[in-house]
Structure formats: C-alpha cells, structure tokens
Amino acid sequence: MTTKITESPRERVRRAFTEPGEFRTSPLYRALSRTVAGDDALLDLAAGGRPGQYPTFLFFGAVHHLLLTDADAREHPLAAYYPSLLPPGATARPAEEAGPALVDFCARHADALRAVIGTRLVQTNQVQRALGLRFGLAAIAAEIGDRPVHLIEVGTSAGLNLRFDRYGYRLGGRRYGDPDSPVQLVAELHGNGEVPDLDALPRLASVLGVDLHPVDVLDRDDRQWLRALVWPENQDQGLLLAAALDLVAGDPPPILAGDAIDVLPGLAASLPAGEPRVVYHSATRMHVPAERLDAFDAAIASLGDTGPLWWLSVEEAPDPDPREDTSRGGAALRLRGPDGASRDLAVVEGHLRWVETLPVPSPTG
C-alpha cells in the first residue's frame, strides 16, 4: 500500500518563497524571499493567511503595511531598505543586506503581523490593468456592434478598473482616452501585431464589480492596505493608485460583496436576457483555492446562460507561447467569445507595463 505524503503548510509556503518569479521589479522582495524561505518562524507567520491567499504577496503586504502605518515600526532599521519609506532623493540600503533586519522586525512585531495576515486579503488594484480591459473591449467592439454591454469585473477590489473610461492612455507613443485625466497610464508596445483602436469601444449598459470583501475607496484603512500591496520600488504605481483612488472616490462603481462562485449565477439571471455582457478578471484566479477552480470557472461561464458572454482575463502565461522570443515572460490577455473559442489577444506584463501584440490570434481551445 502506498502512503500518501501530505505537504505541510510550512513546506507549501517555503516553495512559494523559494522561487518568487512574481517579483521581477522588486529586488528587495526577491532578496527577502530567500530569507523567509530559510527561516521556519517566518514561514509559519506567512502561512497564517486565509485559504487561497498567495503567501508572498500577503506576507510582504503585511510587513509593508505596518511600516507605512505604525510610527514605532517605522523607526526599525528595516525601513531603511524600503524606497517607499524614504524622503525624495534618498537611496535605500542594499536589498541583499536586508535579511537580518526582516527577521528582527518580524520577531518584534509578530502579533501585529499575524493579525494583518490572518484577516486581510490580497486585493491588489493595479490601475494599470485597466489598459488590459480597454484593449479587450476594443478588440470585441466589432463583434458586439452598436449594442451596449454589461461589464462585470470579478475580484474588483476597489473597482478602479471599472472606471477605465475616466483615464488617459499612451501605448506605443499613441494616446487614447481622456488626455486631461489625473490618471495617465503609459505602457511600452512590442510585437508586430495589430493594435485595435482603443477609442472605439462598446457603449456600457451597466458596470458592476464582484469581490469577496470590497475595498472602500472612502475608507482610510482600506486605502492604506492597497498602498501596502504596491511593491516598495514601484513608487510610480503608488502615485497612480493614489490618483485613481481620488478620482474614483467621486463616483464609486457599484460592487457586490460575495464569493463569485455563489453570486454569479444569480447575477446572470438578473441581467436582461439576450443582451451582451463582458466579464473581466486579472490576477484573481491565482488566489482561488485549487479545489474550487472548476467551480470558479463554471460560475463565470454561467454569465453566458442568459446572453452572449465575452470572457476577458489576464492570468496565466500563454500556452503554447506563439512568440519567437519568450524571454520577456508575461501573461496572456485572453478572450473567450460566446462560441466558446478562446484566443490570446496579446502577451502582457503582469501589471500591464508593456503589451506585446501577436501576429496571429493564438487559439487556446
């Protein structure tokens, strides 16, 4: 008889910190991940999140949150390694030397960190990802025609992406959207494929966000948590986030609190029969527990039970990757049409800092 070996929470978390490929733009988090992977006390602390929460994002978000919001914590030597905590023009200490400071900081503030890790969710609201939504809507505009669409975002956090039509964009040197908006999203353009007209968009019949625990753009603590989830080196993203929060606070989109698996089938029944709908999610499915992924996908697909559904996402890498040079990495901006066929519109950096167009749509079945 074969004995099944169950991986302990500590070892599961150790794997996540051993190969932290998500931190391409954060030398500090890459260096600190090695420290966490080799320290059992830190691993046990990081393992205290709710099921499905990605431990690296949650742990570093909790540490950053405490440094940003607690004056006593900010006096700790660890703060000197965080560019986000330093005055303009100051240089952070070398990331490779930060490990011992992290160990000491977590020992001193274990109870406060444990409280954040055990109650908060990874709800990044990278406003730059609104570009992925706008790109996808432009790509399906011709298919939808002049019919208005119902837009639903799953894992919407504070709903910043749902106000994509209030922002300005610059992709590959060309401008789109509102040139006077305080939120201007800039992305590099790569590849030889066609870029759809990002100003030729379907009309919106309604917008709605769905989130387990919606982030209130008017709540100071919620805003601080979103800021803590921005990596310390990415100060431009922090400024964009603040600008978007201020803009959206003037007209927050409606957000439905609940588990998408539970609420989406009912939402489908509430939409006008036969009217087009678009669902969007980005870096959301990765936080769904593995045993619930099939139910998550089925719930999204159920939005097509009462009308034609276009399903747009930024989650996994393209498989297979159709590009000749795959060294840049990236995730697929994937669109599944009402006929059930999927195609990759582009490959994008996870935070939509760049877009690489594809010469031929990549079928994914």
pLDDT tens track for 308-340: 999 999 999 998 999 989 988 899 999 999 999
What pLDDT, on a 0 to 100 scale, did the predictor assign at position 363?
Answer: 52
| CA-CA-CA-CA torsion sign (47, 48, 53, 56) | negative
What pLDDT, on a 0 to 100 scale, did the predictor assign at position 250?
Answer: 94
pLDDT tens track for 284-310: 888 788 899 999 999 999 999 999 999
pLDDT tens track for 46-76: 999 887 778 999 999 999 999 999 999 999 9
Sequence length of the chain is 365
The mean pLDDT of the chain is 91
What pLDDT, on a 0 to 100 scale, did the predictor assign at position 283?
Answer: 86
Residue 55: cis peptide before it, omega within 30 degrees of 0: no
Which pTM was predicted? 0.83
Each domain of the chain, given as residue ranges in start order, spans 9-119, 127-363
Nearest alpha carbon to residue 283 among 132, 83, 175: 132
281 contacts 152 by C-beta, under 8 angstroms: no
What is the CATH architecture assignment of 127-363? Answer: 3-Layer(aba) Sandwich (3.40)
At 190, the pLDDT band (50, 70, 90 cuts) reads very high
Written as six digits, the tokens of 300 are 């999204």
Q: What is the DSSP letter of 65?
A: H
pLDDT tens track for 143-171: 998 899 999 999 998 899 999 999 999 99
